[in-house]
Chains A and B, each alone.
Chain A
Amino acid sequence: MRLRPPTGRRLINLAVSLWAGASALVGLVILFWILYVVISRGLGALNLDFFTQLPTPPGIMGGGLANAIVGTLVLTVGATVVAVPVGLLAGIYLAEFSEDSKAGDYSRFSVNVLMGMPSIIVGVFAYTLVVVPLGHFSGYAGALALAILMLPVITRTTEDMLRLVPNTLRESALALGAPRWKVTLGIVFRAAKGGLITGILLAVARVSGETAPLLFTALNSPYWFGSLGEPTPNLTVTIFNYAMSPYPDWQQKAWGASLLITLGVLLLTVMARFWLRERKA
């Protein structure tokens, strides 16, 4: 009786195993390659001026991207302020009230579709909705586009996280006579806090690196951030413009901005994951 598979089959198995290991290695190599390039090229661009000065016209050395850093923060915060309450409430409906509801099913389906919608399409939408009627590019349009991108992410994670909260908790609170809204906001939310924060962090991470929806909504600007009613400077569109420019100084700045964005986004993502793991453990 042969206990081991014949050699040929073992060889195929070995080859496939090696191939699988190599594939995983390819994924890791790409990640570290990108990180290495961004860090090594970006570090040189970061100095005090980068964080405090306005950009200079081409040909003049120095200057920084302080305005774009501020602008990106403002756009992200603006989008978050709009998307978080709506997303949380929508998630509550899907998790708590949508039993056997057709509207709930359709809404859940739309959440998934909207999550996969290309961000540039959302940009075009914000353009036709806000930029065209107003007649000029504006930060409002950019923040709206980002908010639309955040909405499904927050809704989905809120629903998932609320569903994890055991029903006994709801029942005991209701049995004490607490109204439903108080049960949800005071008891269920508290139990799901970690997960909800994770969802919000992931959504913020997702949009803070977005470029496509800002290209023709917030546009960009070489001046300080004034109001959301005008073109708003931001890091990602600056990277795009500077990278495509022929000036080495600008390209260097683009790498600096890339480093900043990458670090910010990865940090948020890792933080969110860490939070989630703490919770699950």
Chain B
Amino acid sequence: MPPSAFTVAKGRRVKTSPGGDQTFRWLTFLCSLLVPLVMLAIGLELLRSSWPAVRQFGWRFFFSQEWNPVLQEFGAASSIFGTLASTLIAMFIAVPLSLAIALFLVELAPPRTSRIVGTLIELLAAVPSIIYGMWGLFVFAPFMAKYVQPLLGNTLGFLPLFQGPPMGIGMLTAGIILAFMVLPFVSAITRDVFQLVPPVVKESAFGMGATTWEVTYKVTIPYGLVGIIGAGFLGLGRALGETMAVTFVIGNAHRISTSLFAPGNTIASTLANEFSEATEPLYIGSLVALGLVLYLITYLVQVVSQTLLRRMYRAWSVGL
């Protein structure tokens, strides 16, 4: 901390007021404190507003599939299940795809191509969620119903996962669109991780005659594993809370079903669909309780991803 008021030779103070600096410092400090405060306030506010439902239903809330505004019976099981299922599908597709894209951008493509393709893929992250929803509902869901789902039904139809009428909208379509949405986030970090691996390490593997794939599989990925997992968790957090795109294509049914073709719902889609129509305190409380569950899940996922990514960057800044 530099001195805020300098004294020169004869003890005459240069005209800087220490008060100004103190005020400035405090002001910036208070503003930086606002971020954790907001985060905390969100949690507390959600807890307070969901209290009627928490008190009424207790643990039953998490295990009941019942969602009946008329009878005032609410259970979160189908929403929580849908959130996890759609996210799982998304990660199942997005992680391998992101790794492959990072491999392409860092090791295979010429620098110019790599820069352009990298920028374009990052632009996918800028497309608003609701645009994915419009495209998903009017273009991608019919595409799924016409081509992808019949194909899956015919080849893998013996699995309960791929049974049922190909309607286009449903869990699978939502998961795939989620995958496209988290793809730019995961691939951007994975690309950084690939780039951060010291060239010496890679070159020694190349020098022993390893192919690009072998270097990636046996050197780059193990070396950057912590960062890649962190990137995955970051994408996971995104996918868990994505709202509009999922709301458009998931079909919004409060039901747990074994088939991925069947409509379902997620916490976020339930909130988006029903919140502005809910009037009874218990109904609103149950919806806010869903929000609280989502808040806690994403918080946890963020903590894991931040810890992993930070550990990686810290370890790597020291070098080998």
Q: Which residues does A use to contact B, with CB under 8 Å?
A: 5, 9-10, 12-13, 16-17, 19-24, 26-28, 30-31, 33-34, 37-38, 41, 86-87, 89-94, 96-98, 103-104, 106-107, 109-114, 116-125, 127-129, 132, 137, 148, 151-152, 155, 174, 177-181, 184, 205, 209-212, 215-216, 219, 236, 239-240, 243, 251, 254-255, 258, 261-262, 265-266, 269-270, 273
Question: Would you call B229 an interface residue if the criterion is a C-beta within 8 Å of the partner chain's C-beta atoms?
Answer: no
Q: Which residues of B contact A12 (CB under 8 A)?
A: 211, 213
* Complex contacts, A210 vs chain B, CB 8 Å: 128-129
Q: How far is the CB of A84 from chain B (nearest CB, A)?
A: 11
Q: Select the stretch in B130-138, B149-157, B159-167, B311-319 that faces chain A.
A: B130-138
**B244 beta carbon closer than 8 Å to chain A:** yes
Q: List 29 A-B contacts (CB under 8 A).
A: A10-B211, A12-B211, A13-B213, A17-B213, A27-B187, A93-B28, A93-B31, A103-B29, A107-B32, A116-B234, A116-B241, A117-B295, A120-B294, A121-B298, A125-B45, A128-B48, A129-B41, A151-B38, A177-B14, A180-B2, A181-B20, A211-B243, A216-B276, A239-B134, A240-B133, A243-B248, A261-B128, A265-B128, A273-B119
Whether, in the assembled complex, B283 has its beta carbon less than 8 Å from a beta carbon of chain A, the answer is no
- The residue in B131, B184, B216, B275 that gathers the most chain A C-beta atoms within 10 A of its C-beta is B131
Task: Known contacts A37-B139, A38-B134; decide if A13 and B211 are in contact (CB<8 Å).
Answer: yes
B117: which of A24, A215, A261 is its contact (CB, 8 Å)?
Answer: A24
Q: Which residues of A contact B272 (CB under 8 A)?
A: 120, 212, 215
Nearest CB of chain B from residue A70's CB, rounded to whole Å: 19
Let me know if B132 and A34 touch, CB within 8 A: yes
A17-B213, A116-B234, A254-B134 are known contacts; what are 5 more A-B pairs with Cβ within 8 Å? A17-B108, A103-B29, A114-B38, A121-B46, A269-B123
The interface centre, meaning the residue of A114, A211, A255, A265 with most chain B CB atoms within 10 A of its CB, is A211
Q: Report yes or no: A97 in contact with B241, Cβ–Cβ below 8 A.
A: no
- Of the candidate stretches B64-72, B73-81, B99-107, B255-263, the one touching chain A is B99-107
Bound-state CA distance A258–B272 (Å) is 18
In Å, the complex CA distance between A254 and B130 comes to 11
* CB pair A184 B42 closer than 8 Å: no
Given contacts A128-B46, A177-B6, contact A31 B31 (CB under 8 A): no
User: What is the CA–CA distance of A235 and B213 in the complex, to the nearest angstrom?
Assistant: 47
In the complex, the answer to whether B117 meets A240 with C-beta atoms within 8 Å is no
Mostly, the A contact residues are: helix
CB-nearest residue of chain A to B301: A116
Which of chain B's residues have a CB closer than 8 A to the CB of A215?
272, 275-276
**A110 pairs with B42, CB closer than 8 A:** no
Q: Is B196 an interface residue (CB 8 A)?
A: no
Other-chain residue from B131, B137, B291 in contact with A262 (beta carbon distance below 8 A): B131
User: What are the interface flags for B21-45 relative to A under an 8 Å C-beta threshold, 1 for contact and 0 otherwise?
Assistant: 1011101110111111011011001
Binding site of B, secondary structure by majority: helix, strand, loop or mixed?
helix
B28 shortest CB reach to chain A, Å: 4
Partner of B39, one of A94, A117, A209: A117
Partner of A113, one of B132, B184, B303: B303
Instruction: Chain B residues near A31: list those with CB within 8 A.
Output: 120-121, 123-124, 127
Is B275 a contact partner of A124 (Cβ separation < 8 A)? yes
Asked whether B97 is an interface residue with its Cβ less than 8 Å from the other chain, the reply is: yes
Q: Quick check: A21 and B243 within 8 Å, CB to CB?
A: no
B61 within 8 A of A: no
Q: Report how far A276 CA is from B42 CA in the complex, Å.
A: 33
A30 CB to closest chain B CB (Å) equals 5
A116, B302: Cβ atoms under 8 Å? yes
B25 in contact with A240 (CB, 8 Å): no
CA distance A232 to B197 in the complex (A): 50
Q: How far is the CA of A106 from the CA of B37 in the complex (A)?
A: 11
CB distance from A94 to the nearest CB of B (A): 6
In the bound assembly, the distance between CA atoms of A9 and B213 in angstroms comes to: 9
Q: Point out the residues of chain B lying under 8 angstroms from A117, CB to CB.
A: 39, 42, 241, 295, 298-299, 302
A216 is contacted by which of B96, B123, B130, B275 (Cβ under 8 Å)? Answer: B275
